[in-house]
Structure 1
Amino acid sequence: MELAIVITVVVVALAFDYTNGFHDAANAIATSVSTRALTPRIALILAAVMNFVGALLGQEVAHTVADTIGSISGKDGLVVILSALLGAIAWNLITWYFGLPSSSSHALIGGLVGAGIAAGATINWTTIKEKVLIPMVLSPMLGFVLAFLLMLTFMWVLRRRNPHAVNRNFRFLQTISAAALALGHGLQDAQKTMGVILLALVTFKPETFSIDHLPIWVVLAAASAISLGTYSGGWRIMRTLGRKIIKLDPPSGFAAETVATSVLYVMAIHFKAPVSTTHTITSAVMGAGATRGRAAVKWNMAGSIVMAWVLTFPAAGLVAAATYGVLRYVLQLP
């Protein structure tokens, strides 16, 4: 029975990784597509390839995710992980349907916490606070402020340049910044799925698997799933991020992508924190747009996005907790 649940967890985790890819595909490419720096199909191919490469570059975030809950073992522990994944997938699909760029990262970790609490597991609140909650607040704030300042710098330095030449140059630069952002997305988001699969393997056979060692097949499987999901596209969310918040031009698109990429890399490599690519790029887009004045940003849409951010962690947790209750009854766990 436990082996069957482990296999189910791995399959569902990869399904989550796939939904993460198409849900978050817009993160890396919406700005480049909306400014016509890249065609949608080329942008998706670029994002898919760079997501795959980024997923192979590190394991720090994966170990952080695997360390969010403790004291789970056996069949009950595996059901906790399965419930967390189902809760995260449900929230991903709900926000995808409404075109809201919510965080797959916080949906997953919220699911782990919700299912863990329902099962009476030990929650590593220090890890949650330092690696999840603080970066969750800090990364969008940094994205907004730094993009605002970078865009102001561009506006001052380029104020006397020919606008057509400026836009042409920045469209070329956006190819680079979009690729870098997609790499950062793979570095962040694919690792979260790796962490969940690793947690399931350690729960299943702690004598065989270690929380400090990530099997190569897990890395390759997660990288492939998020890459395929990205190529499938996320057109609903792309429209929201690229058009409904602000009408982007190449300089503001490049500013938003450059800042978001920098924040992702610093958080993943230096702080080992699983931050949200969605939160970071969306706040950077708003920051770059705010340089044109308050009227340039559609704050009603921005407010809806922020509400989705606030609800993600508890909503995914509640769905995961309810799912755990159902699975526990169906599987007749003690």
Structure 2
Amino acid sequence: MENNAKKLLEKYLSGNCTPQEQAMVEEWYLRLPFERKAPDHGIIEASKEEVYQRLKLTPKPGFIIRLKHIAVAASILICITAGLIYFVGINNTLTPVAKTQLKDVLPGRNKAILTLANGRVVDLDQAKNGEIASQHGIIIRKSQNGQLEYEIQEDAAGLAGSNTISTPRGGQYQVSLPDGTKIWLNAATSLKYPSAFASNERVVELNGEAYFEVAKDQKRPFRVKTAQQTVEVLGTHFNINAYRDEPSTKTTLLEGSVKVNHTGTEVRLNPGDQARLTLANNALTTIRDVDVEQETAWKNDVFSFNDDDLKTVMRQISRWYDIDVVYQGKISNDRYFGEIPRNNNLSEVFKILELNHVHIDISGKTLTVTGN
């Protein structure tokens, strides 16, 4: 969270913000007097020099940083360093928010179902640590830190059939495949993979979102198939967001190189690139220099939003807290920036949404967002 804020503050101080970004920063500043942990004016003034050092500013000749900008940056940086959560919607209306008592909902946790090739179903949340299954010379274990691990024995026989690990809404899990590949599964995700990979390729099928650290194997390319595309790698780190309720499938590369193929159209990604398949028009495009920290924030237990609309925000919250979201009335086109820790209870997220003038009511596991 702090790194993202620093980047934006650097742009603000250097005068390179867009009007929208400038409005966002100054809205943070204006909001601080209403936050219990906001610093007073004396602390802000005394911290201006620290802001220069923390942001590592090197003003260009003839460049003047306005004192107001330093005061704004100092106040925001102090709050972020102290752990103050920020979540800002641009162009929010000031309509009073209805106060609703929210029955608290815990955040998601390590929770998944493993379906073996023979049809046996294992609840990994309830399974004890240690060996949980053995099939055709392959041992499947649940580790002390709640991960799924595979070990191939020397006498492993030729295999047929696939395993599937599925996380529900409100769940996440990590699996280490027999070839050494590590995969993190986000909520509401399923991964289908063979009991043992073939001699010439490694193929898995994904529905949802997962982060991959693929073990290098020049002789066996690793392929991830989703409903709309195939991603091919030899050994690399990347994230795929392929939820069926999202408007696009996004493949973000952090390390190495990948090829993304959609119905014969192929793009090759370099680190920092994102392949975006827009489902409405079946167009596959490449976005350069994306914020990979934001795209993989979920893996580090953070919701991260950057110019996202309310429905995009709520889809993530719905998956992680296992709630249904419905909408009434005209929903605004406000855009949201900021981060929320995913280990917060839903009541804490609810308070943040209220600060941003989001009208919410909840009944059971259904959360209703009401527009103006």
In which range does the TM-score fall when normalised by the shorter chain? Answer: under 0.3
Q: Which has the higher contact order (CA 8 A, sep 6+)?
A: 1
Name whichever structure is richer in helix by fraction.
1
| TM-score, L = length of structure 1 | 0.23
Structure showing the higher strand proportion among its residues:
2
Length-normalised TM-score, structure 2: 0.21
